[in-house]
């Protein structure tokens, strides 16, 4: 019996946004990213969640233009805190402080 080989180029690119299909999944994903203490990673993760929810709807709900949202939430961005806060509110999630 011969095994069929799969070429790397034939594999589908992993997209986390495709797996963020519930409030619980989104909350768990953002919690993991927040634990990294990396602002750029948080910006990228918020962008991923916004894509999962629909960038246009998140832009409208946050009061940020869609283009500005794409720029602010790219993985290497350093968005202002008010932008992060507005996007998190639009996504229906909030930051919580706990003792470390």
Specify whether the CB–CB gap between 49 and 29 falls below 8 A: yes
Indicate if the pLDDT at residue 1 is higher than 70. no
What is the structure's pLDDT at 43? 93
Each residue of 25-39: pLDDT tens digit?
Answer: 999 999 999 999 998
Segments making up each domain of the chain, as ranges: 23-91
Residues contacting residue 29 through CB under 8 Å, at least 6 positions apart: 16, 20, 45, 48, 49
Each residue of 49-77: pLDDT tens digit?
Answer: 999 999 999 999 999 999 999 999 998 88
Rounded-to-integer distance, Cα 70 and Cα 40, Å: 13
Rounded-to-integer distance, Cα 39 and Cα 80, Å: 10
Phi, psi of 64 (to 5 degrees): -115, 140
């Amino acid at each position: 019996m011969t095994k069929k080989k799969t070429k790397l180029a034939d594999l589908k690119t992993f997209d986390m946004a495709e797996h963020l299909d519930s409030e619980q999944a989104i909350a768990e994903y953002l919690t993991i990213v927040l634990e990294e203490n990396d602002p750029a990673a948080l910006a990228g993760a918020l962008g991923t969640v916004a894509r999962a929810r629909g960038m246009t709807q998140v832009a409208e709900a946050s009061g940020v233009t869609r283009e500005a949202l794409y720029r602010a939430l790219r993985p290497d961005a350093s968005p202002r805190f008010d932008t992060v806060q507005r996007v998190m509110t639009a996504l229906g999630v909030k930051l919580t402080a706990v003792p470390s």
